[in-house]
Amino acid sequence: MPASAAKQLDHKQRAAEQLLDHYRSNARVLPWRSPPGTAPPDPYRVWLSEVMLQQTTVKAVTPRFERFITRWPTIEALAAASDEEILGEWAGLGYYARARNLIACARDVAKRGGFPDTADGLRELPGIGTYTAAAVAAIAFGRDSCAIDTNIERIVARLNALKDKAAIRAAAEAMVPAGRAGDFAQGMMDLGSAICRPKAPECRSCPLQDECASFALGRPEDFPERKTRQARPHRHGLAYWHERDDAIFLVRRPEKGLLGGMAALPGSEWRHGQAPDDAIATIRHGFTHFTLDLHIVESGAAPPNRGWWQPLAGIDEAGLPSLYKTAVERVLSGRAGKSPVQSPRNA
Ligand code: SF4
């Protein structure tokens, strides 16, 4: 933008213009995006990526997104798939409540004949909160909605040296450029990922440096308010290992609760307690609100009534979440070790 025009704008508008200029030449190429200045991407792809990206990194999501889209290229195809197929494809991405909401949302959208095209309409769908609704409305439908996630909150807090959440929200809303909310949201996501990171922001290469109040103060990392982490309680659980004819017995976890609807080894509830003496392996796993030691014990008893024998040669097709996938691998590779093994967090 010409310098004379830039002078007419206020601080927030100038920052938004500089962000858009930067995004035009530096946008990340991602399979759910359209390049800046081209037609908006398919809302199905935008929605799917936003659901997958909640609590999961772009690096981890990208190959899984490609697999999902190849298997179910449209929301109608996804809506027609069985719960087991979708949960199996989701295995390893963690936060399984997202997968259950994804299934419910796909079926709702397919029944309606398409996604609503406003943030208010999108918010009525299962599992779509304020942020996701605003992001899909802005990116896929060109609505002037303001999608505020932790990245955008951090950048806006630093730009304006703000700590109060309501003030940060108001400042973010005032920045959204009319007709370009989608590029603005994606530009902010890129800036938050590559430059204005939570720790050690790269202010020297930031296109918004001239407009940044926290940089001027010399303490960008003081904004927004830092949260103090509470120590998580620790629990123990048993997983029973039934094996015969090169197959192990698996069950489906109850629909409600952690890892709901996912394939698993049969087992006990997860409670405070102690490690058993006869575990053939122990897996340590971090959930959001507690850590777990899952102790795998060989069972001589009959397996539960409901479940199936999964051939060990086809264990990858069982759709096990990371906790149980790691448990099976640990037993197969060691069978005698008892030291805790860390499984990928929340996966
Ligand atoms: Fe973030 Fe630094 Fe850029 Fe300010 S100058 S927006 S703190 S990277």
Give the three-class secondary structure for 236.
strand
Residue 341, pLDDT > 80, answer no
Residue 295, pLDDT > 60, answer yes
pLDDT at position 297? 95
* pLDDT level of residue 296 (50, 70, 90 thresholds): very high
Smallest CA separation from ligand 1 atom 7, residue:
220
Within 13 Å of residue 220, how many CA atoms lie on the same side as its CB?
23
Mean pLDDT taken over the chain:
92
Cα-to-centroid distance, 207 and ligand 1 (Å): 8
Q: What does the pLDDT look like over 234-247, one tens digit per residue?
A: 999 999 999 999 99
Tokens (6 digits) for 61: 């999501």
Residue 198, pLDDT > 80, answer yes
Residue 278, pLDDT > 80, answer yes
From CA 155, how far away is CA 188, in angstroms rounded? 8
Q: What does the pLDDT look like over 2-52, one tens digit per residue?
A: 454 445 568 889 999 999 999 999 999 999 999 998 999 999 999 999 999
Task: Go through 214-229 and write b for each residue having 16 or more CB atoms within 10 A of its CB, e for each that does not.
Answer: bbeeeebeebbeeeee
As a residue count, the chain comes to 347
Cα-to-centroid distance, 197 and ligand 1 (Å): 9
Helices marked H in the chain — which ranges? 3-8, 11-26, 43-53, 58-71, 75-80, 83-90, 96-112, 119-123, 130-141, 150-160, 165-175, 181-194, 213-217, 322-333
pLDDT at position 233? 94
pLDDT at position 255? 87
Smallest CA separation from ligand 1 atom 1, residue:
196
Running DSSP on this structure, what letter comes out for residue 271? Answer: B
pLDDT at position 11? 86
Q: Which residues are known catalytic residues?
A: 50
**Is 212's C-beta closer than 6 angstroms to any atom of ligand 1?**
yes
Give this prediction's pTM.
Answer: 0.82
Residue 343, pLDDT > 60, answer no
| Alpha-carbon Rg for the chain in angstroms | 24
Pocket mutation for ligand 1, best pick of 206, 217, 219 (most atoms within 8 Å of C-beta): 206
Domains for the chain: give ranges and CATH numbers.
Answer: 3-222 (1.10.340.30), 234-342 (3.90.79.10)
pLDDT at position 189? 97
Percent of the chain with pLDDT over 70: 94
* Average pLDDT of the segment spanning 116-122: 98
Residue 152, pLDDT > 60, answer yes
* Average pLDDT of the segment spanning 204-217: 97
Pocket mutation for ligand 1, best pick of 151, 212, 222 (most atoms within 8 Å of C-beta): 212
- Cα–Cα separations (whole angstroms), residue 294 to 92, 101, 208, 272: 17, 27, 47, 12
> Peptide bond before 224: cis, by omega within 30 degrees of 0?
yes
Within 13 Å of residue 30, how many CA atoms lie on the same side as its CB?
25
Running DSSP on this structure, what letter comes out for residue 224? Answer: S
Percent of the chain with pLDDT over 90: 82
**Is 105's C-beta closer than 6 angstroms to any atom of ligand 1?**
no
pLDDT at position 9? 65
Residue 178, pLDDT > 90, answer yes
